[in-house]
Structure 1
Amino acid sequence: MSRRRGILSALLVIGALVLSACAGLPMSGPVNPGLSAGEDAGSPEFLFRPDEPQPGASPEQIVEGFIRAGSGPGPAANWEVARMFLAPSIRETWNPEASVTIDLPDDRESIPTSEGAVEVAIASVGSVDGTGAYQPDAGITQLSFRLAQQDDGEWRITEAPDGVVIDRDVFTNVFHRYSLSYFDPTYRFLVPDVRWFPTTNAATRITRALVNGSPSSWLADAVEDAFPESVTLARPSVPLESGVAQVSLTPEALAVEATTLDRMQAQLEASLASAGVSAVQMSVASTPLSAEATTTQSTRVTGPPLVQTDAGFGFLAGDELTPIPGLSDAMELVDPLAIQVSADRDVAAVRLVGGEVARVPAESPVAVVDSRSGLINPGVDPFGFIWSVPRDQPSALTAFSVSGQQSIVADAWPAASEVVAMAISRDGTRIAAVLITGGRSEVWVAGIVRGTEAVPVRLGEAVPLGPLTGSGTALAWLDDTSVGVLSSESGGPLFTEQLVGGPATTIGAPQGAASVAGATSISTVRLRTDDGALYVKRGANWQRTENGITILATQQGSPQ
């Protein structure tokens, strides 16, 4: 399936991060081509100028200044101020871009342990590795430093961990999120893999990570990469000429068949679009390659909310309920508690009042597919599989085909004692879930590994997206890169928007919030409350729009 290039790949990605902003040159090694005329170096970084070392500063003050300097001026100046705190012996070998630790600066604590040795405890909330992948982290991280007095009597750091520490409030000004694009196994959908890079030379960083790298480990077995292992970048930079990213590839690209080239073009265009690049030209030795991006299926949800009311099932706009041909009539035959509708609107996964999970198609009989006790709300994927699992048996995750054949999905949530809610991504490659692990609610995600005819075989590596405040109650994909989660605590309901591959934001939710669904680009979130009210999110506020809603359905896309 996907490619893994091991140590060489990691080194290439890290190498991409060490490019400087003004000329696109590495700090050491052979001279490489820099920015061409008209090339966009990316959005300017947040200009935070930390203090330089002060005369007579103690070892503790030198270490504290060094850590503060990690927030700027950053890669645009190769962390020049931070290097001033280092002794000449490590000034050039220290690698600031090996990793980023994101912390709460008010909770930093420096402790001198002996003469010339300082330990720093930081309250980390997340980290970014050398490939740009984000990992949540809630805990105390210990950093060790050694210092020595120089010939002028000033203390300088002689031993320091690679990487930088950046204040949580500054992080998103220095690093921005971008999405590398891969394919689902059927090549119908593009699947985003969120990474965090400095804005300096963003196009180069993204292209290097895509062409020379590989998908994130948790996603790798669930997606396909059109770039053959033999094809890499032929030059270290990706100049922009009249807004077109010039991607120079090694000669092996000349042997790639047309279909694969078109898929490579689609991945590049979608990946670089997240950096504002509008067009891409692949070439070999300055000779353009002829390619047209493969057409893929959108996963956007369009139209008004899809709901069940006393008047029936359909799209609600004001007082008018527009039924879905066939499916709305079929919904009259069941008594549902939860409904998820396929992108083509020809089938729904339904949890019934009696607790069973049923397949409700538009043009054939209703079929109860799962009657185990304690089932949570089910889901339907792009290939027609209904997904179902009992709350207290997370490892009993099962997918039911259109013909009724069931497949136990192996390796499902091994660390969880309960699964409260789950949702399949609209491209069918990922599953997110609210799990109880170690007695607390957390949001997790895993790739879906499929066999022949798209049959779900197992889940890939499961990774936490982050802890929840309170107890999780409901979850839905809002778009391709984020999920919305409802939780409850003593102070009332909360809504968390969790980026898959990034930090989360949490705000209060309307009283009685019970279910969540993704919406249009105008407002990506809809909530239903226990009293049947429908709310949409407007900025940081909730606007009540409808009443009398018995069920807020979730949609897996829109008809193409």
Structure 2
Amino acid sequence: MTRGSGGRGTAALAALMILVVFLTSCAQIPRSGPVGKSTDESAGNPNAPVFFPSAPRAGASPESVIEDFYSAGSGYEDDYAVARQYLTQSVSVSWKPDQRALVFRSARVVKTGVENVFNYELDLAYSVDADGVATQLPEGSKETIPATLTKVDGEWRISAIPDGTAIPEETFKVIYGAYPIYFYDPTFTYAVPDVRWFIKKKTVKAMTSALLGGPAPYLKGAVVSAFPSGIKLARESVPVVSGAAQVDLTAKELVEASSEDRLRMQTQLALTFRSQPDVINVELRANQDLVRVDDNGSVLPPVRDKNVPARQIAVNNNELVRYENNRISPLPDIQSVATLGPEAPAESPVSQSAAFLNGSRTTLYSIVPGQPARALTTRATLTHPSFSPQDWVWTAGPGANGATEVIAYHPTGVAQGAGIPTVTLTPPWLAGRNVKDFRISREGTRALVISEQDGKTRVQVTGVIRNADGTPKDLTTPTTLLTPRDPDQGVWVNDTTVAVMKASPSDNVAPDLLSLTASQPQQLAPWPGLTAISAGNGPEEIFGQSAQGIFQRLGNGWSPQLKGPLDPSFPG
């Protein structure tokens, strides 16, 4: 980290390293001062570390004041009381530190051509907004924060500074945590995680405010909330009393809600507070009066982290087969497809429909029990098909004019010879990009998209917007997951994690686990010649395919399975 005064920057980094080493023992950690534990049991994690930064030093230079101010921004206790001491009186009142957190890899103070105006230049790793929505940024991403200083009683103080804080990445990993808040799919069948980053000590209130504020941008339109628009917290706290989180909401919206909606609100909060050890149940209140929430059995609890069946579909001797418990068996009532040279098969998680590509991966076929396979589309290239729990099968490829298109088909329940419902989407953010893989999430509200343009790969998650009847309508502007490699295929591992890799029949291939709840990818053990990957329920159920057969992830390695079946894929 580069600082305006290099010695203190080195010392600060060294102190942070000490913090990481000793965090688990809760020892006192030197940084700018002593470190203790949170004692506010109602706010969040009571064991969260607390920084007590140094107050302004007499005679400090403008550069030092700026550095020390942002260093003090890690001390969030008492509404950033120490950091406010570096500001003039009027600015200390108006400054809003919780508007955003800029997380940097390195920083330095640079003079400008204007007297007493400086820039705090950051190599940015993350940007976290007021609702905890984090944006990951690649190395070399720059951000400049202007700061104006003036002298107050002979000491330099900051008289103009943007709202928000800026903290080193090492500090961010210690005092912030990733927490899923939960929304529903439009049918209220599934719980959909929306991962946010909050200060560990202040999670309960932050989670509640974020939930009431609605989903992150990439999920807007794809998920719904039980909380009506306009409902707010009636007081600026969410106390936890004897294990009960008391969520006090504006009375009008809460009282006018149906009993079913109130139960869904309570359930949504209970799911969101799952990560909070001191929260056992949730109480809804209107202006501090307890609101009764009845459960008459008409509202089913949503499915969280939906599991897929244990079986996989695969190709063996040019036929579609079932691969389960390291054995193969025929697919029930499915006619032969040997003449079509099937590859990359997919199976519906809710019906017996299947789909596959031909040998050149230019034609998508669907097949249902009792009917022959039907060609759905032929294009220059197509991605591995993927089924949603709504029984739509998805793929992507260039359209007639060469533009990238995402296509969905609904073959289930369609009589032989009848037209199959089809939707074609052309999201503007995919313009000019070549889609390498497109996989629908287990609950059907999101999709993993791996695309390439000019040799640069993006791994993204987009939301699936549907019409009232469930027909796909659009894809949201996605969120991007950073990866150290350029993968060309990926699969969902659970509701917050995907596995991606760059296939190669000749080189060692190391898949990466990318999680919405982790700041860094997790590299899996390399294995020679991996050409395909599949995943069941969790990181232990990851399978790889090579010319030597199928391999299952086992600890920090791979365990040989059956040889013969090709392109195994779990339902979905």
Rounded Cα–Cα distance in structure 2 between residues aligned with 1:324 and 1:344: 18
Question: Is residue 134–residue 502 contact of structure 1 (8 Å, CA) maintained in 2?
Answer: no
Q: CA deviation at 1:454?
A: 1.0
Q: Trace 1:422-441 onto structure 2 (pairs within 5 A).
A: 422-437=438-453, 439-441=455-457
Rounded Cα–Cα distance in structure 2 between residues aligned with 1:260 and 1:104: 44
Q: Does 2:321 align with 1:313?
A: yes
- Secondary structure of 1:373's aligned partner: coil
Question: Is residue 355–residue 366 contact of structure 2 (8 Å, CA) maintained in 1?
Answer: yes
Q: CA deviation at 1:353?
A: 1.9
Going from structure 1 to structure 2, the CA distance change for 1:119 and 1:413 (only over 3 Å counts) comes to closer
What residue in structure 2 maps to residue 553 of structure 1? 568
1:79-118 per-position Cα deviation (integer Å, ceiling 9, x unaligned) = 333333323332232221110111113xx23222355232
Q: CA deviation at 1:481?
A: 1.9
Q: CA deviation at 1:165?
A: 1.4
1:201-236 per-position Cα deviation (integer Å, ceiling 9, x unaligned) = 32222122223x111222111112221225433333
Question: Is residue 404–residue 433 contact of structure 2 (8 Å, CA) maintained in 1?
Answer: no
What residue in structure 2 maps to residue 17 of structure 1? none
Rounded Cα–Cα distance in structure 2 between residues aligned with 1:551 and 1:327: 20
What residue in structure 2 maps to residue 517 of structure 1? 534
Rounded Cα–Cα distance in structure 2 between residues aligned with 1:333 and 1:289: 63
**Long gaps (5+) in structure 2:** 1-37, 415-419
Residue identity opposite 2:353 in structure 1: V
What residue in structure 2 maps to residue 477 of structure 1? 492
Higher deviation after alignment, 508-517 or 133-142: 508-517
What residue in structure 1 maps to residue 551 of structure 2? 534
Q: Trace 1:395-406 onto structure 2 (pairs within 5 A).
A: 395-402=404-411, 403=414, 404-406=420-422
Rounded Cα–Cα distance in structure 2 between residues aligned with 1:506 and 1:305: 26
Going from structure 1 to structure 2, the CA distance change for 1:458 and 1:302 (only over 3 Å counts) comes to closer
Question: Is residue 516–residue 528 contact of structure 1 (8 Å, CA) maintained in 2?
Answer: yes
What residue in structure 2 maps to residue 371 of structure 1? 378
What residue in structure 2 maps to residue 233 of structure 1? 233
Going from structure 1 to structure 2, the CA distance change for 1:324 and 1:227 (only over 3 Å counts) comes to farther
What residue in structure 2 maps to residue 215 of structure 1? 215
Which residue of the other structure, out of 417, 441, 455, is the alignment partner of 2:433? 417
Higher deviation after alignment, 510-519 or 482-491: 482-491
What residue in structure 1 maps to residue 24 of structure 2? none
**Long gaps (5+) in structure 1:** 1-34
1:326-363 per-position Cα deviation (integer Å, ceiling 9, x unaligned) = 27887778643212322236223322324222223345
Rounded Cα–Cα distance in structure 2 between residues aligned with 1:423 and 1:522: 17
Q: Trace 1:41-190 onto structure 2 (pairs within 5 A).
A: 41-70=44-73, 72-74=74-76, 76-105=77-106, 108-113=107-112, 115-138=115-138, 139-151=141-153, 153-190=154-191
Residue identity opposite 1:141 in structure 2: E
Q: Does 2:308 align with 1:291?
A: no
Q: Which runs of 4 or more aligned residues in structure 1 lie more than 6 Å from their structure 2 counterparts after TM superposition?
A: 35-38, 327-334, 488-491
What residue in structure 2 maps to residue 544 of structure 1? 559
Q: CA deviation at 1:148?
A: 2.1
- Secondary structure of 1:56's aligned partner: coil
- Secondary structure of 1:60's aligned partner: helix
Question: Is residue 299–residue 556 contact of structure 1 (8 Å, CA) maintained in 2?
Answer: no
Rounded Cα–Cα distance in structure 2 between residues aligned with 1:464 and 1:209: 18
- Secondary structure of 1:92's aligned partner: helix
Q: CA deviation at 1:424?
A: 0.8
Going from structure 1 to structure 2, the CA distance change for 1:95 and 1:231 (only over 3 Å counts) comes to closer
Percent identity, aligned pairs only, is 23
What residue in structure 2 maps to residue 244 of structure 1? 244
Higher deviation after alignment, 164-173 or 501-510: 501-510
- Secondary structure of 2:63's aligned partner: helix
Rounded Cα–Cα distance in structure 1 between residues aligned with 2:571 and 2:272: 23
Q: Does 2:344 align with 1:338?
A: yes
Question: Is residue 234–residue 250 contact of structure 1 (8 Å, CA) maintained in 2?
Answer: yes
Rounded Cα–Cα distance in structure 2 between residues aligned with 1:98 and 1:491: 46
What residue in structure 2 maps to residue 6 of structure 1? none
- Secondary structure of 1:66's aligned partner: helix
TM-score under structure 1 length normalisation: 0.82
What residue in structure 2 maps to residue 28 of structure 1? none
Rounded Cα–Cα distance in structure 2 between residues aligned with 1:304 and 1:426: 14
Question: Is residue 36–residue 241 contact of structure 1 (8 Å, CA) maintained in 2?
Answer: no
